[in-house]
Amino acid sequence: MDDVPVTDSDIDFYQENGFIQYKGFFSAAEMDHLRAAIDDAIGSHRDRILGAEGGGRTSDDYERVFNQMVNMWVDSPAAREFAFSKRLAETGRRLSKARHVRIYHDHAMVKPAGQGSKETNCHQDAPYWPMDPLGSFSAWIAVDNVTVDNGCLHFVPRSHKFGLLEAIKLGVEGENIADKMRAQGHDVADPVAIDMEAGGVTFHHGCNFHFAGPNRTEQPRRAFAIIYIPDSVTFTGGREAAGAGDEMTAGGPWDHPVHPILAGEA
């Protein structure tokens, strides 16, 4: 694909730091389209997780971190255009050096505005994913302009090199994987704030330390992320496989209709 923005230096940067940013990946008109899809899902009171008890909503505190809706591609054709974007998936495939990448799931994330908004604790994603070995990653699309004031992402360079660590309790004040590693005597780099206009995209490794501050503005901050599974990664079991139910076998590949290959060769 000629319109994939990845250079050799981009690959080197991602492999070394565990994240990378692409400004202006999508157009303003495309973000208008995605923003409307997310707003429609909110307006219809869509479940956080389709089919889960209580719609997957378990904690008021967690909702103040962000209102998340998983697998929007299943019931929103507009969201599917972005979740299945071949250009986006191919960009991630090249950065990760994978032969092919599958979708794990998408998720819309709306960080509420005002005094009730809470920060997203500094954490890794990989502890929450039933996958082995390491290497899965996310693309995070800024659907609105994102700044420090409204809760942009912060990444800790080279933190993915620590490997898989303990899961952090999201929504619990004081839980912070970077602080825990520093308390153990590890040298942890300072975080980098990634502000960008709507349409910008970041990619980050599943073991990268990252967080987002509270949204202190008067408007919600919308984002849309897609998690990708490289061909080398298998399903470990132990938790539901993002819509695949009990139809996958622990130790086996992610070969299932809700986890199709989006870029590369099978």
Between 118 and 159, name the one with better pLDDT.
Answer: 159
Question: What is the number of other CB atoms lying within 10 angstroms of the CB of residue 238?
Answer: 8
Averaged pLDDT for residues 117-146:
95
Q: Residues 166-193, buried b or exposed e (16+ Cβ, 10 A)?
A: eebebbeeebbbbeebeeeeeebeebee
Count of other CB atoms within 10 angstroms of residue 150: 23
Q: What is the pLDDT averaged over residues 69-75? A: 92
Is the model's pLDDT at 25 over the cut of 60? yes
Report how far Cα 26 is from the mean position of its chain's Cα atoms.
Answer: 17
CB 19 within 8 A of CB 208: yes
User: What radius of gyration, in Å, describes the C-alpha atoms of the chain?
Assistant: 17
CB atoms within 10 A of CB 117: 20
Phi-psi region of 89 (alpha: psi -120 to 50; beta: other; left: phi over 0): alpha
Average pLDDT over residues 23-32: 97
Query: What's the pLDDT at 260?
Result: 96
Measured CA to CA, the distance from residue 191 to residue 243 in angstroms comes to: 33
pLDDT at 64: 40
Query: What is the average per-residue pLDDT within 12-23?
Result: 98
Q: At what angle do helices 8-17 and 86-96 cross, to 10 degrees?
A: 70
Q: Which amino acid is at 11?
A: I
Full-model pTM: 0.92
Whether the per-residue pLDDT at 198 is higher than 60: the answer is: yes
147 pLDDT higher than 80: yes
Q: Is pLDDT of 128 > 90? A: yes
Tokens, residue 171: 């929504």
What is the pLDDT at residue 43?
85
Handedness of CA 134, 170, 213, 76 (dihedral sign): positive
Q: Given a cut of 90, is residue 46 above it in pLDDT?
A: no
Superfamily of chain region 14-236+250-257: q2cbj1_9rhob like domain (2.60.120.620)
pLDDT for position 50: 59
Burial 122-134 (b: 16+ CB within 10 A, else e): bbbbbeebbbbeb
pLDDT at 63: 43
Rounded mean pLDDT of the chain? 91
Neighbouring CB atoms inside 10 A of 11's CB total 15
